[in-house]
Amino acid sequence: MKYSFLVLPLLFLLGCSGLEKTEYNKIRKKNCSGEYIKRRRADKYEIDLVPSQKKQELYSWEDPNREYLPKITKDFFRCKGNPLNPPNNSLKDCEGSHRHSLPIIHGKEGIYPILLEVLNYIQTKTKQKVAITCGHRCPKHNAYSEPSKVKSLHMYGAEVDFYVKGYEDKPLDVIDLIEEYFQKQPRYKNKGLYLNFKRQNKKGVQTPQWINKEISITLYLKTEGRDFDNRHPYPYINIQVNYDRDLNEKVTTANSPRYMQW
């Protein structure tokens, strides 16, 4: 009798809980619906519940067989001058590429096509990025970078300095690819002056140049050819255009000013 006042409310709550559960089951049973599935005797009832694993696709930068490197265009050659660079022999650098255009070649702003073709070929074959350290130079940036040169083919879209990432210490492999490019292009078929590279010594450079009718290739070692555009510790390759294959004439600093625009 002492605890009867506690037992009665507990029984009441349990009863209510039971009623709720019974009511819930009634509603659930009422809402359940089903239908018969009819099959033929020949039908198979086995269901393969083992999921098949799908191979995860790689991102573009992870796939070694996918060409993900950006195509090298004339814009990669724009002048790298910057007014924030420290003075060089009291010469100040230019305002950068936003203040002037590229040279005018064959009536259009651009770079000699052979340079773009060769660099893109190198990227395709190596699957490594070509780092252009010096492409086009405006007159002011040219004077800043190499005060000893009044004119340079860099000023006329006819010269480039570069190295290949991953091939920093293997520049001869890259030069082999440049020679291979000429061997594989149909336009040079049976044209010995383009296919055969002669070797020629150049002052201040340990490695003899490679020269054919259209281009000259110079290999600068770590201690050679350093200027304000090539202050990195790697050997680098220089390509100069010797011959304009569209106009059928030599390319020199004497006849190139007509290509300039600033």
CB-based contact 209:136 (threshold 8 Å): no
Q: What is the DSSP letter of 99?
A: G
Take residue 103 and report the two structure tokens written for it: 């040279």
* Domain-embedded: residue 45: no
* Domain-embedded: residue 68: no
CB-based contact 94:83 (threshold 8 Å): yes
* Residues 163-221: tens digit of each pLDDT: 999 999 999 999 999 999 999 999 999 999 999 999 999 999 999 999 999 999 999 99
Take residue 194 and report the two structure tokens written for it: 């383009």
Instruction: Give the Cβ contact number of residue 256 at 10 Å.
Output: 19
> Cα 65–68–73 angle (5° rounding)?
135
* Domain-embedded: residue 171: yes
* Domain-embedded: residue 123: yes
The segments of the chain whose pLDDT lies below 70 read 1-21, 33-34, 37, 43-51, 53-67, 255-262
List all residues 6 or more positions away from 232 whose beta carbon is below 8 Å from its beta carbon.
133, 163
* Residues 125-138: tens digit of each pLDDT: 999 999 999 999 99
Identify residue 139 by its one-letter amino acid code: P
pTM of the predicted structure, to 2 decimals: 0.73
- The residue range of the domain holding 108 is 74-259
* Domain-embedded: residue 244: yes
* Domain-embedded: residue 84: yes
CB-based contact 202:225 (threshold 8 Å): no
* Domain-embedded: residue 64: no
* Domain-embedded: residue 34: no
For the chain, what is the domain count?
1
Integer distance in angstroms from the first to the last C-alpha of the chain? Answer: 110
Residue 14: the pLDDT is 52
